[in-house]
Amino acid sequence: QSNPSPSLAQPQPCCSPRVPAGEHRDTDRCCRDHDHCQHVIHPFTARYGYRNLRWHTISHCDCDLRLKECLRRVNDTASRVVGQAFFNVIQVPCFEFTYREECV
């Protein structure tokens, strides 16, 4: 039987820098979608076999990748500022599930 366990991937942050809703609607939509990521580890909690000792939430790498792609599609000043801050300055790691064999 295989059980998922996370492995720390390349550093990638979760969405934190925000712009006012409506002013940069497309960029805000990217961040809102990321905020609803189904697989997250909240600050100072443990989940999926991983302990998050950071002050911010860590998201599954798929969610961070979708955020990055969304911001690239928007491709305006706001999306570039958010993307730079998020992926190059803050550099929050994401996590992935890996499967390992376990005897039962």
Is 42 assigned a catalytic role? no
Integer Cα distance of 15 and 82 in angstroms:
8
Q: Among residues 34, 36, 42, 60, which one is catalytic?
A: 34
CA 73 to chain centre: 17
Question: Among residues 100, 101, 65, 71, which one has the least CA distance to residue 84?
Answer: 71
Integer Cα distance of 31 and 83 in angstroms:
10
CA distances from 47 to 6, 40, 58, 62 (A): 9, 8, 11, 17
Question: Could you list the active site residues?
Answer: 34
